[in-house]
Amino acid sequence: MKVTIVGATGAVGREFLKVLENRNFPVTSLTLLASEKSEGKKLQFKGEQVPVTRLSANSFGGSEIAFFSAGSQISREFAPSAVSAGAIVIDNSSAFRLEPDVPLVVPEVNPETLKNHKGIIANPNCATILLVVAVAPIHRRAGIRQIIVATYQAVSGTGYRAIEELRRQVSAIERSEPVVREVYPHQIAFNLFPHVDDFLESGYTKEEIKMTNETRKILTDESIKISATCVRVPVYRAHSEAVHLSLGKRITADEARQILKTAPGVKLLDSPDENIYPTPLTASGTYFTCVGRIREDIALENGLALWVVGDQLLKGAALNAVQVAELLIK
């Protein structure tokens, strides 16, 4: 396959290279695109240095699959050019996710929606992917009615500059130097804040409403009620989620464990007596959505609580998109 990556030098872009290589995706040619300021950089793929070129409407000639991960604006502007040039676009931005004729795909959950694509396939929001991989098998068994979720989101979700900001702030504190803020409105080192993406009129953030709307679309059930609080935490990598579900019928914690033990893409880490439950460090760099702390929720009707952690740059972004591409090839 002739593969193009838009946003190749970003935090997710670089993960694309690793995932394509690691999964031995059949790449016959690789085009790396980025903004002007990254032009001339080289990134390594299968032992070779691949140059980064500047994104333009003419960048997509001959491309068969174009992975976009450079923000909504870039996707809106250039995805149509890629489709016109004959490529299938797998877009990691939120630009097209809720459009009715754009499949929003998590391969473990709704691979069947892929066949209806019209050139653009959307990769869901990172926190949403991790949530649905964990709860879709429960939904199929017992019908989810309500989801209350609080997130613990790593700085790499914001991108490279945020990783550097956390690193620099920690170093500054270590040396008793002043803390400088450039990316986030508040200090992130040894701090956290309930602010991921912009605020909406309702008081929710866009990130929180993505979790609501995208989860409903992926599970094809608009009746599920979903409320999220999304929080940025001083962790480099992997998002965590405290998930509380109300189900259509009761299932026990043991039944939930049995369901999730064999669920695709899920790694069950649920032996609290041995201090085994997912953490960002255990999930970082892995392809799994890790689930633990499964218990019957004592506040919600037919309640079930769980703790979900996954690498949001991998399963939450690059890996999911590559899995979609693998399905396309099949």
Which residue is it, tokens 């935490």? Answer: 233
CB of 158 to its own copies, least distance (A): 15
Tell me how far apart the alpha carbons of residues 50 and 27 are, in angstroms, rounded to a whole number: 13
Which parts of the chain are beta strand (E)?
2-6, 29-34, 42-45, 48-54, 65-68, 88-91, 120-122, 144-152, 225-229, 239-247, 266-268, 289-295, 303-310
Report the residue number, 94 or 240, with the smaller CB distance to its own copies.
Answer: 240
Query: Shortest gap between Cβ of 321 and its own copies (angstroms)?
Result: 26
> Edge-to-edge strands of the sheet including 239-247?
225-229, 144-152, 239-247, 303-310, 289-295, 266-268
In whole angstroms, the minimum distance from the beta carbon of 303 to its own copies comes to: 7
Asked if 239 is an active-site residue, the reply is yes
Of residues 117, 139, 230, 239, which has the active-site annotation?
Answer: 239
Closest to its own copies by CB, 9 or 187 = 187
Kindly state the smallest distance separating residue 301's Cβ from its own copies, in Å: 9
Q: In terms of CB distance, is 113 or 146 closer to its own copies?
A: 146
Nearer of residues 27 and 242 to its own copies, judged by Cβ: 242
Other CB atoms within 10 A of residue 241 CB = 27
Q: State the catalytic residue, choosing from 126, 139, 244, 290.
A: 126
- Compute CA 193 distance to the chain's CA centroid, rounded to the nearest angstrom: 20
Which of 126, 59, 116 is closest to 87 using CA atoms?
59
Distance CA 300, CA 230 (A): 21
* Closer of 90 and 235 to its own copies (Cβ): 235
Q: Which is nearer to its own copies, 114 or 170 (CB)?
A: 170
Cα 49 from Cα 43, distance rounded (Å): 5
The answer to whether 126 touches 157, Cβ cutoff 8 Å, is yes
Q: What minimum distance in Å lies between the beta carbon of 281 and its own copies?
A: 5
Backbone angles phi and psi of 329, in degrees to 5: -65, -40
Task: Assess contact for 321 and 92: CB atoms under 8 A.
Answer: yes
Q: Which tokens sit at 80?
A: 């149509």
Query: Where along the sequence are the contacts to its own copies (CB under 8 A)?
Result: 146-148, 150, 152, 170-171, 174, 185-187, 190-195, 199, 202-204, 212, 225-227, 229, 231, 233-236, 240, 242, 244, 253, 272-273, 275, 277, 279-281, 292-300, 303, 305, 307
**195: annotated active-site residue:** no
Closest contact distance (angstroms) between CB of 168 and its own copies is: 11
- Active-site annotation, residues: 126, 239
